[in-house]
Amino acid sequence: MNKKSPMLIHSIESFQHGIEHFFDGTPLGRKFAILHIDHAIELLLKERVVLLGKSIYRADGLTLSVHETLNSLKEVSIPEKPRLQEIHDLRNTIQHKGITPDEFTTDFYIEVAYEFFKRFSVEEMGLQVDEIIASRFIRLFDRKYVIPDQKFVPSIDFNHDASPTENIINGYAVLEKHLKDWQDRNPDLKTLRGTIYNLIEENGYDKDQVKQNLASIFGLRGRVVKSEYEPTYEELVEYLDNINGILLMMNVSKDKI
């Protein structure tokens, strides 16, 4: 692709700006990294919609939402779709509730966004990697994202310095991170639930033991990130206990990965 549209140029600029915020290492940088990178992803997806000959405008004249844009790209393979939606949910929570994601949560979602943006830009938009991001940032990413040589998945502690909403988001990110590490090495495992069931059954547990726990985790997270709902202390403790219980049953060791 020789000539880029204004929307694609804006997408790349927002992505690069988000990466700069990410690597500044400050709480404010983490906030703006998610905001800018989510915006970059939205514009990149909309550019792909346009290239398919479709409109990015609804009947009321407004542009498509991120979720509507993804639905307009059904003929395009986007295996990252569930996590892109989570990034957008996180962006909305930052924007509307003023939270600051912790380092672990930010690292996880920026890694997801980076790998998606790089793959999608090359495979679907015909761009070269050096058109997307500066080589110095690529080197930083390649050095930064090395899976730690840990024996077991860590438990999640209640963070008294964080808001209930931040605890909900951060706890879910820990679960997602360790599931992604497993899925990256086992391509047949694609869904969050399927991966959890596979891992706990390998360790001798019955998946029926966690179905209710998962429903509770997903239900509370959904209420928190998609509405003004603030969880009670009791709900938060139960939520983190459920995640820790699942992590314990998965018991993901390096020799299994």
Domain count within the chain: 2
Q: Which parts of the chain sit beneath pLDDT 70?
A: 1-2, 142-156, 251-257
Q: Which of the listed residues 146, 162, 180 is the one where a domain comes to its end?
A: 146
3-state secondary structure the chain: CCCCCHHHHHHHHHHHHHHHHHHCCCHHHHHHHHHHHHHHHHHHHHHHHHHCCCCCECCCCCECCHHHHHHCCCCCCCCCHHHHHHHHHHHHHHHHHCCCCCHHHHHHHHHHHHHHHHHHHHHCCCCCHHHHCCHHHHHHHHHHCCCCCCCCCCCCCCCCCCCHHHHHHHHHHHHHHHHHHHHHHCCCCCCHHHHHHHHHHHCCCCCHHHHHHHHHHHHHHHHHHCCCCCCCHHHHHHHHHHHHHHHHHHCCCCCCC
Residues 139-164: tens digit of each pLDDT: 777 655 443 343 344 456 777 778 88
pTM of the entire structure? 0.71
Range of the domain at 202: 149-257
- Do residues 22 and 115 both lie within one domain? yes
Indicate the residue among 123, 146, 169 that finishes a domain. 146
Looking at the structure, do residues 78 and 185 belong to the same domain, yes or no? Answer: no
Residue 120 shares a structural domain with residue 169:
no
Domain check: are 33 and 128 in the same one? yes
User: Given this model, what pLDDT does residue 155 score?
Assistant: 57
Residue 45 has what pLDDT?
A: 96
Same domain, 175 and 195: yes
Q: Could you tell me if 90 and 36 lie in one domain?
A: yes
pLDDT at residue 143, rounded to an integer:
57
